[in-house]
Structure 1
Amino acid sequence: MTFIPKRQIYLPHVLKHTSFHQNFCFSTSISTHQSFQKLDNQPKYFFAFPTRKCNNGLMIFQKDSGNFQWICASFFSSSPIQSTDKQQIFKKSCFGRMSVTKHLPRPKPPWRVLFFGTDNFSLRMLKTLNENRLSQGKGRLVDTLEVVAIKANKKGSEVPVRRYAEEQGLRVLDWQPKLHPLTYDVGVLASFGFLIPSKVIDMFPYGILNVHPSLLPRWRGASPIEHTILYGDTETGISIMEIRPKHFDIGPILLQKQYSIPDRVTAPELRQIMAERGCNVMMEALSNLPELERRVVEQSEIGVTYAHKISRHASYVDWENQTYQCIDRQHRALHEIEALKTVFNKTKINLLDPCDFDVLNADSSVEEAVQRRFNSPSSEVPPGSLFYSKPHKLLLVKCRDGWTGFGSVIIRKRQSAMDFYCGYLQKNLEPRFQSLDNGIQFNLDLMTPRVLHSQTMPLKVREGCYTDLKVGHGS
């Protein structure tokens, strides 16, 4: 590897161009499948002009004894480049730094892969890549595999991806790694949690691919699985997208597949399902990477929602504003993080062992028990009111449109619904749970699943977007 010291070299004095074209099919994160041109008086050099994807990159190849050397060159403009004339571009531009290597990006698999990951979702991806690397069949897509992983998470616990990589004898790099151009062909990222800077992304000819468990641009961010359940989506998907610096999940889509969500699925169950499906879609993308990289579709500006990191306060129940279906989704989405919580007589209570709320509200005996306890129908009982139902052995709590039921609670210690009734409810004539704002906006815009092919979308946005197979990349 040879590095040229940082200095300014004005392009008109170094490179000249002619109208002679030769096409070479190399995929890069900066300039993809461009026409490389010979230079006057410099027969060994070829260059590609910057594209609309990236206006601050220039890729150069050097021909030497029939082989091509890869020269990664970046330039910056002394003034905004608005002209499409090549001479004008050169007059306004100069080199910043250049690095030279004899390693070429591969035009087809098997690839040299660098994997970025942390948790069990990304661990499933890493296992799939490693199993493919060790295989000897024609479907081998991974030649070499190395891993970038932090040493421990915020709680000090061991990172699953790092542990597995070390057990398998894979080379592990700490975050942030110092990489050299073209050591790897492509990066693969899943549930990493860190923004990747441009200097790292530019080290990969095919860029870094992110395996995201949602139908982007819906649920960009840290917790798409939880938000998918929380807001009642009936469909989800896997999106393979290119990483972009500075923001999460904004890059163009290479491949996207859509799946139906099982009824009453929990976040851990859906995460496992999407991890398996994500592996399949990821391997399909790697098998067809040069073709997918040639065609790019930017994410639509319609239907963008954000799946911000879930806070512990989100597990509190707002009895006045949430329906029993909202509370059911809240439990299924968040119980892995925190149990549903409420406040009784200024004391925090964890609500455990919820029943099936749909079955509960369809039971006519519940309304009979409400009439005996409150001498009024359920519609007149204030939200947050509660009582113990002996036939159901449940603590029943009124919400906005019906009843929820819990088999046990934690108030200082875990106890059954009957024990809670005997110890606390008998002492209160009109016991009520307090409604607390949990920060979850249960509104129709977010609760209603996004229509993938809505007739209200503009035609140019609607066509080619959110298909259930490959996304059209529209050249």
Structure 2
Amino acid sequence: MLLFFNKIFCVKCSGLIRYRVSCKRNIAYSSKPFSSRTAPWRILFYGSDDFSEASLKILYEELRTGIVSRLDVVTSLNSKRNPVRSFAMQHKLAIYGWPYSTIEEEYDVGVVVSFGHLIPERDIASFPLGMLNVHASLLPRWRGAAPIIHALMHGDAVTGVSIMRIKPNKFDIGDIVKQESCHIHRDETLPQLYGRLAALGAKVLVECLHDLPHCLTKAVPQPHGNSTYAPKVQPAVARVRWRDMTCQQVYNLHRAVASIHPLTTSWHGLPVRLHHASPSTDCAAGERPGCVQYVPSSNVLRVACADQLFIHFQAVGLPNKKPLTAAEFHNGYLSKKKHSDRIFD
């Protein structure tokens, strides 16, 4: 064995980097069968966001009382907001900064949750039980960075979480170790579903760890031919295409992205943000898609969609102005245009 130095982030040194000596071992898959390995497990956890933190918290509880004997963390040390790093510092867990090129310590299994980086093959091979990933979809549906957003945006009625084995070189292609489904409520939004799936993923992860060797032997390849993809969502996706989108599609888009990218349109060249959407059964027959009307009785704006139904909005935003209520937008802008010109583009 060769002795060498490796940097770690030491929570006991007020966030300073210090060095420690450790032993470098040859990295290879262990020949010891799954069935002969037993808990408690030594875990190296990879994550960085709120979704990750839910799993880290439950693993920390198991570190104190259950099936985890060691819990260290790999995460970004540079991002301004990192719940995983904050939790690890608070609870004095060892923190390794990403990219973390060499695993020197002995761990049984790696756990990756909403991490967003490909793990090198040699790192995967260094864990005798491999690496598990908690993914917020029923794989192979919605592989990729934004599965929850795409499930909502496409109007899925059911979603869930998948625990899969990490494979090198590509995201979200590994064998399925365990899955659990849940229904998506009709009016559920991204923050609500995100929270539910984060908690569900943490729960299913711990269930796997309680029976890990058996779960690993039962892992199955993902079905071929019915995969869908969920790439990272850019702000441009929030622009409403009135001529192409039904009322339900506009509402689903609002549910999916409004908390990060408010729906947008334009009013005679002015960019407009649309707030507090709700679907309706109001008939818009004969109206052009994008036609805007004010409804005094409920103080909403209703906009005609491609399926000749109206969708409602309670407020709109204009550049350099605080959000306007429907009545304020009507009085300041809508009422000054003739009916044929009351159009969102």
Q: TM-score, normalised by structure 2?
A: 0.87
Which residues of 2 match residues 52-451 of structure 1 at below 5 A? Answer: 72=27, 107-135=37-65, 140-153=66-79, 157-180=80-103, 183-354=106-277, 356-357=278-279, 360-361=280-281, 378-401=284-307, 402-412=309-319, 413=321, 414-429=323-338, 430-435=340-345
TM-aligned CA deviation for residue 434 of structure 1: 4.4
Deviations 1:322-356 (A, max 9, x none): 111111111111011111110111110001122x3
Amino acid in structure 1 at the alignment position of 2:302: L
SS in 2 for 1:298: coil
| Ranges of 4+ aligned residues in structure 1 off by more than 4 Å | 70-74
Deviations 1:365-396 (A, max 9, x none): x56xxxxxxxxxx3211111112111121111
Quote the Cα distance in structure 2 between the aligned partners of 1:180 and 1:225: 31
Q: Is the 8 A contact 2:163 2:177 kept in 1?
A: yes
Quote the Cα distance in structure 1 between the aligned partners of 2:184 and 2:301: 30
SS in 1 for 2:137: coil
Quote the Cα distance in structure 2 between the aligned partners of 1:106 and 1:175: 32
Corresponding residue for residue 78 of structure 1: none
SS in 2 for 1:272: helix
Quote the Cα distance in structure 2 between the aligned partners of 1:406 and 1:149: 40
Q: Is the 8 A contact 2:27 2:122 kept in 1?
A: no
Amino acid in structure 2 at the alignment position of 1:431: D
Q: Is the 8 A contact 1:342 1:433 kept in 2?
A: no
SS in 1 for 2:285: helix
TM-aligned CA deviation for residue 295 of structure 1: 3.5
TM-aligned CA deviation for residue 432 of structure 1: 4.2
Deviations 1:84-109 (A, max 9, x none): xxxxxxxxxxxxxxxx9xxxx97110
Amino acid in structure 1 at the alignment position of 2:49: D
Deviations 1:175-198 (A, max 9, x none): 122434661000011100111110
SS in 1 for 2:191: helix
TM-aligned CA deviation for residue 73 of structure 1: 5.3
Cα gap change, 1:334/1:177 in structure 2, threshold over 3 Å: closer, same or farther? same
Deviations 1:287-337 (A, max 9, x none): 111122223321111320000001101111111111111111111110111
Quote the Cα distance in structure 2 between the aligned partners of 1:230 and 1:426: 33
Quote the Cα distance in structure 2 between the aligned partners of 1:72 and 1:330: 46
SS in 2 for 1:109: coil
Amino acid in structure 1 at the alignment position of 2:336: K
Deviations 1:265-289 (A, max 9, x none): 1111111111111111101111111
Tell me which moved more, 221-230 or 425-434: 425-434
Cα gap change, 1:158/1:72 in structure 2, threshold over 3 Å: closer, same or farther? closer
Quote the Cα distance in structure 2 between the aligned partners of 1:328 and 1:381: 19
Quote the Cα distance in structure 1 between the aligned partners of 2:275 and 2:184: 24
TM-aligned CA deviation for residue 217 of structure 1: 0.2
Quote the Cα distance in structure 2 between the aligned partners of 1:269 and 1:408: 21
Q: Is the 8 A contact 2:164 2:178 kept in 1?
A: yes
Unaligned residue ranges in structure 1 (runs of 5+): 4-69, 75-99, 368-377, 436-475
Deviations 1:4-24 (A, max 9, x none): xxxxxxxxxxxxxxxxxxxxx
Q: Is the 8 A contact 1:151 1:158 kept in 2?
A: no
Q: TM-score, normalised by structure 1?
A: 0.64
Deviations 1:137-189 (A, max 9, x none): xxx11000000010133xxx221100110110000000122434661000011
Cα gap change, 1:119/1:307 in structure 2, threshold over 3 Å: closer, same or farther? same
Q: Is the 8 A contact 2:177 2:215 kept in 1?
A: yes
Corresponding residue for residue 8 of structure 2: none
Cα gap change, 1:339/1:108 in structure 2, threshold over 3 Å: closer, same or farther? same
